[in-house]
Structure 1
Amino acid sequence: MYLYTANHYIDVMPFLLQGLQYTLLITFVGVFFGFIIGAIFGLMRISNNKLVYGIATVYVEIVRGTPLLAQIFFLYFGLPELLGVNLDKLTASILAIALNAGAYIAEIVRGSVQSVEKGQTEAGRSLGLSSSQTMRYIIWPQALKRMIPPLGNQFIISLKDTSLFSAIAVTDILYQGRQYASGTFVYFEPYLMVCVFYLIITIPSMVILRRYERRLERE
């Protein structure tokens, strides 16, 4: 039981700062691997090979069609029973964010690549470049530039989604706020500060994204 003090706004800070470390770790590592997964499956989604396209489509539709919380429970509780693979809470959290974000990033990649004018592909082939070289040197750099705003939005979404991991006792920002509230029986201040912490992270990110989008519009 935590000692009562009048200034819970200050007393809750150490708890939330500890949770912030896990929130940022899960978000950055998860989205990093999510981008790798999304880039692979996004390119598979534009493949002419029906098997490759089918595999990517199944992954994207399953992940996008099921709640993230259900995916978390499946990875943390279901896999040990199914495969005998025990994942610790942090690993399960990063994997869940990576797989979930990867499905949405795959659609971002697919849309960005397909938005590049077909004439760019034809120009690359006329220069004697192979399909992979055209993608690497001509299409991908242009598509990557267009991906940045939606990738930034996905980062913010994934950051907020980390609050769901408190359901498996990951000590993120929300979990730490809940711990403080349950120990002091004070709820307004800790949960308000939880919201403030998320806003401190997300608002600068949104401002940067808006400025980048305006710069893209001017180009």
Structure 2
Amino acid sequence: MYRWDFAPVLANADLLLQGLVNTLAVTGTALAFGIPLGLALALARLSGRRLLAWPAGFVIEFFRTTPPLVQLFWFFFALPVLIRVEMTPFMASALTFSIQSSAFFAEVFRGGIVSVERGQWEAARAIGMTPSQSMRRIVLPQAVKRMIPAFMERAIELMKTTTLVAIVSYADLLYQANEIAQKTFRPLEVFTVVAGIYFVVILMISLLARRLERRLAVSGESTVH
């Protein structure tokens, strides 16, 4: 019978905490840059101008369809060769997941924008608003409200995907767990605790997303997935 012993894990709790902080740092950075970049890509794709729509469409489809691990390797190993700048694990991870997330957020934004009834555009034009004013004051406020649950779901997927950064030696939660497991020879306990940490954090985000969905359902707003 296997004897569970969590004492070595508790003795290294500070490393797990630091790993969680680093995981949240990459996730937060990717969200901070990915959301506005995603909005820019969505607006470019919806602009109707080929010089904007086609490159934006290519970026969106490329980063949505290529494996995130391949993207991470490219930014960590290949990009420094091209730009002659040393890329730290955090820089490569943040850059990779910011751009990759922007491609998914672009589709969320696009879906939210096109879901707004055409009559809203026509009403804004009737009172003298320019297209940019209509987008900023009328369309986006309605679209963003509908997209909140989809944003939360995407944030959850992003956090789970960031476990890949351990491969480039970024000290996230998974990387620290692997270091502790090798040092203590207690992989079962270590990865059980790590799984529990991810479960608690992601469950909290999921519950928040569900609460927002219920509020939007009560208010009669549809959601975009």
TM tier relative to shorter chain? over 0.9
CA distance in 2, matches of 1:203, 1:13: 21
Give the unaligned 5+ runs of structure 2. 220-225
Please tell me whether residue 160 in structure 1 is matched to residue 160 in structure 2. Answer: yes
- Say if 2:47 and 2:53, in contact at 8 Å, map to a contact too: yes
CA distance in 2, matches of 1:143, 1:81: 41
Q: TM-score, normalised by structure 1?
A: 0.95
Measured against aligned partners, the alpha-carbon deviations of 1:103-144 in whole angstroms (never above 9, x if no partner) come to 000000000000000000000000110111111110010011
Residue 177 (structure 2) aligns with:
177
Residue 94 (structure 1) aligns with:
94
CA distance in 2, matches of 1:195, 1:162: 14
Residue 214 (structure 1) aligns with:
214
Residues 169 and 124 (structure 1), Cα distance of their counterparts in 2 relative to 1, 3 Å cut = same
CA distance in 2, matches of 1:183, 1:20: 19
CA distance in 2, matches of 1:188, 1:126: 65
Classify the secondary structure of the residue corresponding to 2:46: coil
Q: TM-score, normalised by structure 2?
A: 0.93
Classify the secondary structure of the residue corresponding to 1:90: helix
Classify the secondary structure of the residue corresponding to 2:215: helix
Counterpart code for 1:80: P
Classify the secondary structure of the residue corresponding to 1:45: helix
- Say if 2:8 and 2:184, in contact at 8 Å, map to a contact too: no
Quote the RMSD (CA, aligned, Å): 1.1
Counterpart code for 2:14: P
- Deviant stretches of 4+, over 6 Å: none
Residue 133 (structure 2) aligns with:
133
CA distance in 1, matches of 2:9, 2:89: 28
CA distance in 1, matches of 2:75, 2:163: 16
- Say if 2:9 and 2:180, in contact at 8 Å, map to a contact too: no
CA distance in 2, matches of 1:46, 1:31: 22
- Say if 1:12 and 1:177, in contact at 8 Å, map to a contact too: no
CA distance in 2, matches of 1:108, 1:169: 31
Aligned residue runs from structure 1 range 96-115, under 5 A = 96-115=96-115
Query: How far apart are 1:6 and its partner, in Å?
Result: 5.9
Query: How far apart are 1:36 and its partner, in Å?
Result: 1.0
Residue 187 (structure 1) aligns with:
187
Counterpart code for 1:156: I
- Say if 1:12 and 1:180, in contact at 8 Å, map to a contact too: yes
Query: How far apart are 1:18 and its partner, in Å?
Result: 1.1
Query: How far apart are 1:80 and its partner, in Å?
Result: 1.4
- Say if 2:19 and 2:175, in contact at 8 Å, map to a contact too: yes
Percent same amino acid among aligned pairs? 36
CA distance in 2, matches of 1:116, 1:8: 55
CA distance in 2, matches of 1:124, 1:152: 30
CA distance in 2, matches of 1:12, 1:122: 61
Residue 53 (structure 1) aligns with:
53
Give the unaligned 5+ runs of structure 1. none
- Say if 2:93 and 2:165, in contact at 8 Å, map to a contact too: yes
CA distance in 2, matches of 1:86, 1:36: 26
- Say if 2:6 and 2:189, in contact at 8 Å, map to a contact too: no
Classify the secondary structure of the residue corresponding to 2:86: coil
